[in-house]
Amino acid sequence: MTVPLSAHASRWAVAAVLIPLVLGLLFLAPPSAFDLLIIVTALLAWREFFSICFDRRPWVLQAIGLGGAAMIMIGARLYGPVGQGLALVLAVALGFLYFLLNYGQTPSIIDSIGRFSLGHVYVSLFLSFFVRLHALDHGAEWIFFTLAVTFLGDTAAFYVGRSFGRRPFYPAVSPKKTWEGFGGGLIGSGLSAGLVGGLLLPAAWFEAALFGIFLGIWGATGDLFESMLKRSAGIKDSGSVLLGHGGILDRIDALLFNGPFVYLYAVTRGGGLV
């Protein structure tokens, strides 16, 4: 089966623009520039999450959510893991206060509280680990490792699945994904992790490759998790910001799951939390 030209061309057109931009901010710009990119990404992703999970979208609650997402990124940068955790608590507590003050006007209030809290864990907290990664020794290299393993694995899964996919992987959530594509993604993640980790990071190539295979599995879980949210909401894409890629959440769903584990791996190798 050949890949449709539109899907092929759109993926590479977006990659041709985003890859130089992200790498330039990561390796050439001041650290604050990359942090700003993460904050903007968090705000766009949180807005998409809000539109997926809330039929009624009061602007006050959305503003509280966006403000909380930015606060978690800033807390993670300025005060480390303590600031990251305290900012998360405050961001969720502000949402609780909103629901308390709007008790009589919010249908299914427990469900709404759960959705709001999920947004700050799934989007805000998970994404803030990239801020913490960036603050580590070799932080830019660790982030490059995460991006390479996740996106090259995803690209391998896309092309192998389109060319050889026959057996559905999890049709209840994502009908187009196949076991063949999943296997191709693991190979792509493992190979890219071994290469990038062995060259740029203090890790043996085979250890990095094994970790890359784990990230391939866990990143695919993140992809399926976001697909489950979209399917529950009855939508195909989280947004239309990126040509051929859908929304921001569609592009970072696997990264959201992989970022915290790369941070844990990095600080374990470095000997302590930073």
Q: Band of the pLDDT at 273, cuts 50, 70, 90? A: low
Task: Please give the pLDDT value at position 2.
Answer: 47
When the pLDDT of each residue in the chain is averaged and rounded to a whole number, the result is 90
pTM for the complete prediction? 0.92
Residues 6+ apart with CB under 8 A from 84: 72, 75, 76, 125, 128, 131, 132
- Tokens 């296997």 locate to 183
Residue ranges of domains in the chain: 5-270
Q: Is the pLDDT of residue 17 over 90?
A: no
Q: Is the pLDDT of residue 238 over 70?
A: yes
Task: Please give the pLDDT value at position 57.
Answer: 75
pLDDT tens per residue across span 36-56:
999 999 999 999 999 999 887
Task: Please give the pLDDT value at position 134.
Answer: 95
**For 54-66, b where at least 16 C-beta lie within 10 A, e where not — what string?**
beeeeeebeebbb
pLDDT tens per residue across span 182-222:
999 999 999 999 999 999 998 889 999 999 999 999 999 99
- The answer to whether 63 and 96 have CB atoms below 8 angstroms apart is no
Q: Is the pLDDT of residue 7 over 80?
A: no
CA distance 42 to 113: 20
More confident residue, 239 or 89: 89
pLDDT tens per residue across span 62-85:
999 999 999 999 999 999 999 999
Q: Band of the pLDDT at 11, cuts 50, 70, 90? A: low
CA distance 254 to 67: 24
Q: Hey, which bits of the chain come out as E strands? A: 168-170, 174-178
Q: CA 119: distance to chain centroid?
A: 12
pLDDT tens per residue across span 110-149:
999 999 999 999 999 999 999 999 999 999 999 999 999 9
Task: Please give the pLDDT value at position 55.
Answer: 81
Q: How many CB atoms lie within 10 A of CB 5?
A: 8
Task: Please give the pLDDT value at position 5.
Answer: 47
In the chain, the largest separation of any two C-alpha atoms, in whole Å, equals: 58
R_g over Cα of the chain: 19
CA distance 7 to 15: 12
Share of the chain above pLDDT 70, in %: 91
Q: Band of the pLDDT at 246, cuts 50, 70, 90? A: confident
Task: Please give the pLDDT value at position 232.
Answer: 92
